[in-house]
Structure 1
Amino acid sequence: MALGALVASLPSIAMAKAPADSGAVNEPQASTSEPAKAPAGEGNDVGEIVVTALKRAERVQNIPASISAVSGEMLAQRGIADIRALTSAIPNLVVGEFVGSTLITIRGVGSNVDSGLTEPTVAVYADGLALPRATMARLRAVDLERVEVLRGPQGTLYGRNATGGAVNFISARPSKELTGKVEVSTGSRDALGINGFVSGPLADGVYVRVSGGREKQDGIVKVLNTGQTLGGVDAKYGRVAFLLEPSSDIAVDLGLRYERDNAPVGYQQSINANRFEIANGPSVATHEPYKLISNNRLAGFKETLIVSGGINWQLSDALSLKYLGGYIDHDSYDFYDPDGSSVAFSHVEYDRASKSISQELTLIGDYEGFKFILGAYFFKEKANNIFLTTFESAHPSFPGSLRFGARARITNMALYGDIKYSVTSRFGLNLGLRLNHEDNDFNQFFATASTDQTVKATRLLPKVAATYEFSPDVNGYAQWSRGYKSGGGQFGQGSGVQPPYRPEVLDAFEVGLKSQFADRRVTANLAAFYYKYTDLQFLNFIPEFTTRIDNSDARLFGVEADFRFEATDHTTLSLAPTWLDGKFKDRVVVEPVTGIPYNLDGNRLPRAPKFTVSAGIEQRFDLGGDLFSELQLNGNVKYSSTTVLRFFDLNEFERQTGYALIDLSASVMDADRKTRLAAFVNNLTDKAVQISSFRTANGYYGNYGAPRTWGVRLSRQF
C-alpha cells in the first residue's frame, strides 16, 4: 500500500530540534526503523530505533506502549507490497479481505464489518491523514521511510479516534541534496514493475521529491472457464512532495499523491460445494482454493487522490505549533459474480466512494519534567456504499434488478490532550483526555424505499498511565485507556427500516516491561492486557440480499512478548509469541440461513487466534568485493493456531485451522551501498490460508491469502 504519499503531513514531531537535514512538518529524520548496525560494544540497533508514533522522536524502548516499526527498505527487500503482506513482519497483526475491503485486526481487536458505512476499528494513516474506508488500505508500499504500528486505543494522540490501534505509513521526505533511485522488478504470476524517485533542492529553502511507478501482476485466483485472473495488480501511481523553509523556525510541507489500480479484486470464491455445483455437477462451479468459475467477466478499479499541507512553527526550543490539513478523494468499483458459478443467476456492481477533508492543529511542549500535546481536530466526509444486483435468466426473480445501500455525511470534531509529568527522576504519570463529538447523517435505501437517520454522540475518552524506570535500559508501565467507534446507519432492506447500530466502546488495561541487557544486544519486551468491549459491532447476513450490523459485549485477555538477540555483529535472532483469549459475552443471534438462534456466549472473536508466534533470523556476510560487498539473508516463520472467521463458528468452513508460513529473502549490495539486487519468496510451502468466510443460501464464500509468491528487484541509487 504505497502509502508513500503525503511527505509533509504527519503531525508527529520531536520536541527536541530535528536534525539539520530534516525541517519537515511530518517528523524528524532521526532514524529509520532498521538503522545501520551499531559496532560491537556500542549497542544493539534495536535500542536505537527512533519513531514518532507518540508525536515525539523517541527510542522505541523508552515509549510506554506496545509499538512495532519496520523500515521501508526492509519492506521492499521482503516483498511486502501492501498491508495484506504486512502480517509477516508485525506480530499480532491479522488482515482479512472480502470483496475488495481490507479488514485489519490487532490483538484480536478489529472488525469483520464490510457493510453499511462503519469506520475501521484499526485506523490507517498516510503521513498523518486518516484513511476513513476499508477499501483505501491497498495503496502500494513504495517510497516509504517506515511503517509504525501502535496497539490499543489512540484517541488522545491522533486526530481521528482509533479503538484497536493505528497503522502509520510514513513517507520519505524531500532531501537537501540531489539523490534518486530507479528500481525494476519481476516475479511470479508474470509480475513486472518499475518505480523510482528524484529528490533534492530547487532553490534555497525549497526542496522537492518526485516518485512514481507502474506495476502489473496476474491475480491469485484463476477463472477456469475464461482464463481471467483476479486479485492481481495493474497499478500506476505518482507522488510529488515539497518542503519549504522560509526561515529556520518555519517549515511548510505540501504533498500530492495519485494512484489507480485497474485489477479486479472484488470476488466471492466458493469454499464449499455450493448449491449450483451440487445441482449441476463440478463443471459449473468449484470450491478449490484459488479457482473460480463464472458466467461473467469480472472487473473493477480503485482510485485515490490525496492532497495534504502542513506547517511546523518552532515557537521556541521547547514549544512548537503544528497544522495539518488534507483532502482525500477515493472511489472503489467492483463488478463480480456472487454465486461463483457459470449459471446465469445474478451479478453485482458494488460502488464505494468517499470524499473527506480534515484539519488538525497541535501544540506540543517539552519542558524539563513536563511534556504535553494539545490538539483540535475537524473531519468531514461524504460517503456512498451502493449495491446494484442484476438478476439473470436462472434466477427465480428474473428479470429485473435491485438497488440498495447507504449514504452518509460524517462530521467529527474533537479536542484532545496528553500530558506527561515526571514525579521523580524514575516515576512518571501520563494523563490524556479526548472530547469527541460525532454528528452523522445516514440515508438507507432499498429499491424505491428510503429512510433518513441522524446519529449524534459526545463522549469523553480518558487515558491514565504510570511509568517507572528501573534502570536506564529497563522500563515498566501500566495504562488504562478508552477507545470509541461511532454508531451509524444500516443498509436498507425490503422488510422495513433497520435501526442504527450502536457505537462500540473499548476499555483497555495494559501493563508492560521493556528491557535490554548485555550491552543492548538482548531485547526483551513483555505486555499483558485486558480489553472489555461494550457493544462490539459485527456483521450479520439478512437473506437474500442485504446485511445488518449487530452489537454484542465481549472481553479479551492477552500476553505478548518480543525478544531480539544480536548473537554476533552479523547474526540477529528474533522471537515474538502471543497468547489471546477473546470471546463474546451473552448474546443471542439468529443464524440467518437456517433461522436457528445461537447464544454467542463463549464463542471466540473473529481473527483472534489463541496462539501465534513469529520467529526470524538475519545473517549478514562481508564479501569484500566492489560489486558484491555485502550479502544479507533473512528467514521468517509465522505460526498461527486456529482462527475463527465467522462468529457463529459452526463448522470447518467458518474457521482456518492452524498453519505456518515461511518467508525467505536475500539481497546483495555493492561497496557504496547504492546498487542492490534483492530476491524473496513468501509462503514458501504454498499454503492456502483462508482469511474470510461468508454464508448465503447458496453456500459458503470467502477469500484466501496469497499463495507462494516470489520476486526479484534490482535498484540503483544515485
Structure 2
Amino acid sequence: MKQNSRCVAPLILASLALPAAAQTGDTAQRLDTIVTTATPSAAPLSDIPMSVSVIDSGDLSLADAYVSAEDVTDLLTGVEAAVANGTQVAFQIRGVGAVDHQALTPTAAAVYSDGVYLATNVQTGLMLYDLDRIEVLKGPQGTLYGRNASGGAINFITARPDNDQRRYVRLGYGNLNRMDLDGAYGDSFDSGFSYRLAGRYLSRDAALDNVAGPEAAGGERDEFGVRLGLNWDSVADGSLLLRTHYEEGNGVNAAPRNDTLDLDDHEIAVGSDGIQDTDNEFYGISAEYARDIGRWALTSLTAFEGYNQEYGFDFDGAVALFGNPNFNANLAYLRDFRQYSQEIRLHTDWDGGSTMIGVSGSVENFSQTYTIWCGELDADTLLGTCPYVGAASRAGPTPVSDTAAMTLVTDIRQDRSTFAAFTHNEFDLSDSLTATLGARVTREEIEGQGSGRHIFEDGTIGYNNVGGLGLAAGSNEIEETYLSGHAALSYAMEHGTAYASVSNSYKSGGFNGEVQNNVTHFADEGLFDAETVTAYEIGYKGKTDRLTYAVAAFAQDYSDPQARIFVNFVLPDGSSITSNSLSNLDKAISYGMEADFNWQSTEQFALQGALTLLETEIDQESDIGGNADTFDGNPLPFAPDVSATFGGQYEFAATDTIDGRISIHAKYRGDYYLDPEGLKSRMQEGFTTLQAEASFTLRDTGVTLTAWGRNLTDEDYAVSGYGFIGYDTFRSDPRTYGLRIGYEF
C-alpha cells in the first residue's frame, strides 16, 4: 500500500460578435461581465483577486463554427490544449499540465460542465453547443476547485431555462462536406416552471489527406448531442434545476503522422488495417437545488456522469516503416466509466464580509481493455496477421508457447472515492482593502487492478513477464490526504483594483492504465505520485467608461510534475528495459506576465487583445533510470514563451433593412515542445491562426446569414505527440469555412 499526506490573467473577452448588451447600448455591462463560479457569489471580474478569462454568450458566435472544447484555446493566451487519440484533451495553463493520452489521467486544469467535475481527459473533449459562457481561472485553484486543479479550472456553462430564453435554429454547410444543424427551444410559465431543449448534429468528411490508403483515416466526424433543462422557481421552499444530456460521437479518429515520412502539410500515410469505426456515448444528469435557511443560502448539486467508448487507430502512423511490414501497430480501446458526485455549500454575507463552507464527495468506476496488434485483426481470436513488434519482448524469459507472440491485451479497473471539506471567506479590512482566505482538505482512496497478457500464434494466452520479474497481474491501493488553499489581498481604487495572492493545489497520483510489463506495474514504484503547484501573483484590473484592462505577474513552484517519459529500469541480471509511462520529474518553475484589454471604441466598434509572456524550466537532479540530464533545464511541454491574441468586431447598417457585423480574431503561439525531453525534432515552431466571420441580419425577421472561417492561415501544426517507432504526431485541421443560416424567434 502507498500512503502519504502532503500540503499541497487576465480577462480576455475575445469577442467574435458583440454581446447582447451591445444592442442596448449598455457599454458598462459589456465591459464588466459577471461570473458566478470564480467566487461563491456573482461578482464583477474587476473585483476578483485572480486571473479570470470569460468567453460569454456574445463572444461564442464564432464558436458555433467550432467542434470541440479544445478549439476555444484559440481565444485565450496562456492556455493550450494537447489533443490525443481524437478526443482526449489535456489543457495546459501557464505551462502546467501533464501531456498524456491515457484516460486515467485527468488534466491539471479541472474541467467542469455546469458545475459538475469531469474526472477523466476523455470527457474534456466535450461537444460545444448552446453555451452561455466559458470561464477560465488561471493558476492553482485550491479552494472551490481543489481536486486536479494544479493549473487552473475551466467551466463550460450551458444556457439556462428561464424567463428570457433565446430560441433559434441554424443550418450550415462548409468545406470537407460539413453539415451542421443546431437549435434550442424553451418556454416559461406563470407557475414558475421553465424548460429548455437544445441539440446539435455535425458531420464532416476527413480533414487530413491520407496519401497511402483509405480517405477515412484522415478523421471523419459524425456526432450529435441533446440537452434538456427543467427549472422550478419554487419547490420545497427553494428552486430546483434539472439538467440531462446525451452525446454520441461516431465517425473515424484521425491517424497520426510518423516523422520518418516525407509528407506535405495536412497529409498522413497509413493503410487500411488500423481504420476502425468510433462508437462513443456520453451521458449524465444533475440536480441543483437552492434555498435560504435563515441567513444562509444553501446550494446542493447532485450529479451522475458516464460514458462508453470504443475506438482505435493506426498506432505507428505508417503503412510499413522502413519497408518492414512487421513494424506495424494498430490499437483499440474499449472503455466504460461511471461517476457519482454530491456537493453542498452554505453561503452567507455578514457585516464586513462573507463566508462559504461546503463538503463534496464522489465515487468513480473505470474499466478499460487496450488491444494492440499487427496487420488485420481477427475479432474472434484477437490475432493479427503479423506479430506486433513489442509482443515478443514482453513474453518473458520462459514463454508458455513455442509459437510467436502476436497480440497484446491489457485490462485495468480503477475505483476512486473522494471526500472534501472547504471554506471560502472574505473580510473587509477597510472601505478599500479586502482579504480573501480559503482552504480545502481532500481525502482520496484509489483502488486499481489489472493484467497485461499476450496471445501467441497458437491461441495460447500468457501474462507479460518482462525481465522475469513476475507475471503482469496485480492490484494496489492509494490513500492520500491533501491540504490546499488560497489567500489574497485586494485594494479598490478609483479606477480599478490591485491585488496580491498566493494559492496552491494538486493533481492526484495514480496508476498507469495501459501496457503492463510485469508484476512491478502495480507495485509502489510503478505508480505516479501527485503533483503540487504553489503560485504567487500580483495584478491590477482597471476600468473606464469604454476600456477595461488587466496586468498580472506570476511565479509558480511546480513540485513533482507528472510527465509521460521513457524510463530505463535496471533488471536483476544487470540488463535494462525502457518503459514509456507516466512518471514524476523533480520540480519545475513557471513564471511570467500577462496583459489584456477590451476597448469599446464606439457602440459599433470594439477591439480586444491579450499577451502572455511565459518562461518555464524543469529542474531535474535525481536519476530517472539514467535520464536526469535528458530533462534538466528543458522547458515544460505545450508552454510557448509568447502567446498573443488580437481581435475586433464592427457592426453596421448594410441597407435600410439589413444589419451587418464583421468579426476577426487571431492568435499567435511561439515555439513549444511536445514532451519534456526538449528535442528540436519534437518542437512545434511558432504559428498564427486566424478566425473570422461576417453576418447579415434581416431586420425584424430574426433571419441571419453568416460566412465563417477557421484557421484561415491554413497552419499545419502538432496537437500532441508520442514516441513509438520514430515519433508520431496528431495534426491540426486545415482551413475550414462555411455558410450558416439561422432564425431566432
TM-score range, shorter chain: 0.7 to 0.9
Offset of residue 421 of structure 1: 0.6
For 2:571, the equivalent position in structure 1 comes to none
Q: Secondary structure of the residue that 2:548 maps to in structure 1?
A: strand
1:434-445 residue pairs with structure 2 within 5 A? 434-445=440-451
Q: Secondary structure at the match of 1:175?
A: coil
Tell me, yes or no, if the aligned pair for 2:108 and 2:148 is still in contact at 8 Å: no
2:641 aligns with one of 610, 617, 627: 610
* Aligned residue in 1 for 2:250: 262
Q: Which moved more, 1:640-649 or 1:382-391?
A: 382-391
Aligned in 2, Cα 1:241/1:159: closer, same or farther, shift over 3 Å?
Answer: farther
Matched, 1:494 2:523: no
Q: 2:550 is matched with which residue?
A: 525
Look up the match of 2:501: 479
Does the CA-based 8 Å contact 1:202-1:208 persist in structure 2? no
SS at match of 1:355: strand
Q: 1:606 to 1:385 in 2, by over 3 A?
A: farther
Does the CA contact (< 8 Å) of 2:562 and 2:583 recur in 1? yes
The reply to whether residue 65 of structure 1 matches residue 44 of structure 2 is no
Q: Does 1:713 align with 2:740?
A: yes
AA of the residue aligned to 1:71: D
CA separation of 1:149/1:232 partners in 2, compared to 1, >3 Å: closer, same or farther?
farther
1:482-516 CA distance string (max 9 Å, x none)? 11111112245324413221111111111110001
Deviation string, structure 1 residues 219-239 (Cα, Å, up to 9, x no partner): 322333222243342012111
- Tell me how far apart the structure 1 counterparts of residues 619 and 627 of structure 2 sit (CA, whole Å): 19
Per-residue deviation, residues 504-557 of structure 1 (Å, max 9, x unmatched) = 11111111100013xx21222001111001111011246788534333311111
- Check if 1:567 corresponds to 2:601: yes
Shift of 1:624: 5.1
Hey, what does 2:118 align to over in structure 1?
A: 131
Cα 1:505–1:526 shift into 2, 3 Å: same
> CA 1:109 to 1:34, structure 2 compared with 1: closer, same or farther past 3 Å?
farther
Alpha-carbon distance, 1:287 to partner: 7.4
CA displacement at 1:390 relative to structure 2: 2.1
Q: Which amino acid aligns with 1:497?
A: T
Which residue is equivalent to 1:243? 231
Is 2:292 the partner of 1:298? no
Q: Give 1:46 deviation, angstroms.
A: 4.1
Aligned residue pairs total 664
Shift of 1:195: 1.6
TM-score by structure 2 length? 0.85
- 2:726 counterpart of 1:688: no
Q: Which residue of 1 aligns with 2:316?
A: 339
Higher relative contact order (CA 8 A, sep 6+): 2
Letter in 1 for 2:558: Y
Paired residue for 2:468? none
- The yes-or-no answer on 1:200 pairing with 2:177 is no
Aligned CA distance change for structure 1 residues 243 and 439 (closer, same or farther; 3 Å): same
Amino acid at match of 1:37: A
**Which residue number corresponds to residue 464 of structure 1?**
487
For 2:653, the equivalent position in structure 1 comes to 622
Q: 1:506 aligns with which of 526, 533, 538?
A: 533
Partners of 2:255 and 2:270 within 8 A in 1: no
| Partner residue in 2 for 1:278 | none
1:335-377 Cα deviation digits (max 9, x unpaired): 2121223345332112233210000000011234211211100
1:557 corresponds to which of 588, 591, 616: 591
The whole-number CA distance in structure 2 between the counterparts of 1:352 and 1:242 is: 30
Unmatched tracts of structure 2, length 5 or more: 1-16, 375-383, 393-403, 454-462, 464-471, 568-576
Structure-2 residue corresponding to 1:430: 436
Aligned 8 A contact 1:38 1:45 in 2: no
Change in 2 beyond 3 A, CA 1:184/1:299: same
Match of 1:155 in 2: 142
1:353 aligns with 2:336: yes
Alignment of 1:178-217 (within 5 A): 180-201=167-188, 204-217=191-204
2:84 is equivalent to residue 98 of structure 1? yes
Once residues 653 and 718 of structure 2 are traced to their aligned partners in structure 1, the CA distance between those partners, rounded to angstroms, is 41
Distance 2:169 2:223 in 1: 17
Q: Name the structure 1 match of 2:6.
A: none
Hey, what's the Cα distance between the residues in 2 that align with 1:247 and 1:73? Answer: 32
Q: 1:160 to 1:202 in 2, by over 3 A?
A: farther
Deviates more, 1:674-683 or 1:247-256: 247-256
Judged with a 3 Å threshold, the aligned counterparts in structure 2 of structure 1 residues 307 and 230 are, in CA distance, closer, same or farther, namely farther
1:600 pairs with one of 628, 631, 652: 631
- Residues 648, 330 of structure 1: alpha-carbon distance in 2 compared, 3 angstrom cutoff: same
The aligned amino acid for 1:631 is G
Match of 2:665 in 1: 636
Alignment check: 8 A CA contact 1:35 1:49 kept: no
Of the three residues 284, 293, 310, the one matched with 2:288 is 310
For 2:49, give the aligned amino acid: P
Conservation of the 8 A alpha-carbon contact between 1:254 and 1:310: yes
* TM-score (norm. length: structure 1): 0.88
| 2:368–2:413 contact (8 Å) kept in structure 1 | yes
Percent of residue pairs identical: 25
2:696 equivalent among 668, 672, 686: 668
- CA pair 326-248 structure 1, distance change in 2 beyond 3 A: closer
Give the structure 1 partner of residue 129 of structure 2: 142
Q: CA deviation at 1:429?
A: 0.6
Instruction: State the partner residue of 1:49.
Output: 33
**Which of 370, 385, 396 is residue 387 of structure 1 equivalent to?**
370
Query: SS of the counterpart of 1:606?
Result: coil
Does the CA-based 8 Å contact 1:514-1:524 persist in structure 2?
A: yes
Inter-CA distance 429–590: structure 2 relative to 1 (3 Å threshold): closer
1:417 paired residue number: 423
Q: Counterpart of 1:52 in structure 2: which amino acid?
A: T
Secondary structure of 2:520's counterpart equals: coil
Tell whether the 8 Å contact from 2:309 to 2:335 is kept in structure 1 after alignment: yes
Q: Distance in 2 between matches of 1:596 and 1:172?
A: 49
Following the alignment from structure 1 to structure 2, what is the Cα–Cα distance between the partners of residues 668 and 566? Answer: 21
Single out whichever of 73-82 and 215-224 deviates more from structure 2.
73-82
Q: CA RMSD in A?
A: 2.4
Structure 1 alignment gaps of length 5 or more: 1-31, 274-281
Partner residue of 1:27?
Answer: none
Please state whether the residue corresponding to 1:61 is helix, strand or coil. helix
Q: Is the Cα contact below 8 Å between 1:124 and 1:137 reproduced in 2?
A: yes
CA contact (8 A) 1:360 1:375 kept: yes
Structure 2 CA distance for aligned equivalents of residues 68 and 178 of structure 1: 24
Aligned match of 1:6: none
Return closer, same or farther for 1:64/1:52 CA change in 2, 3 Å cut-off.
same
SS at match of 1:137: helix
- Once the two structures are TM-superposed, the CA of residue 408 in structure 1 deviates from its matched residue by 0.9
Query: Contact 1:434–1:461 at 8 Å: present in 2 too?
Result: yes
* Counterpart contact for 1:194–1:215, Cα < 8 Å: yes
Cα deviation, 1:180-200, whole Å, max 9, x if unaligned, reads 311111112101121212101
Residues 406, 489 of structure 1: 8 Å contact kept: no
**Residue in 2 aligned with 1:25?**
none
Contact 2:256 2:268 in 1 (8 A): no
Deviation at 1:674, TM superposition (A): 2.5
CA shift in 2, pair 1:116/1:540, >3 Å: farther
Partner-residue secondary structure (3-state), 1:497: helix
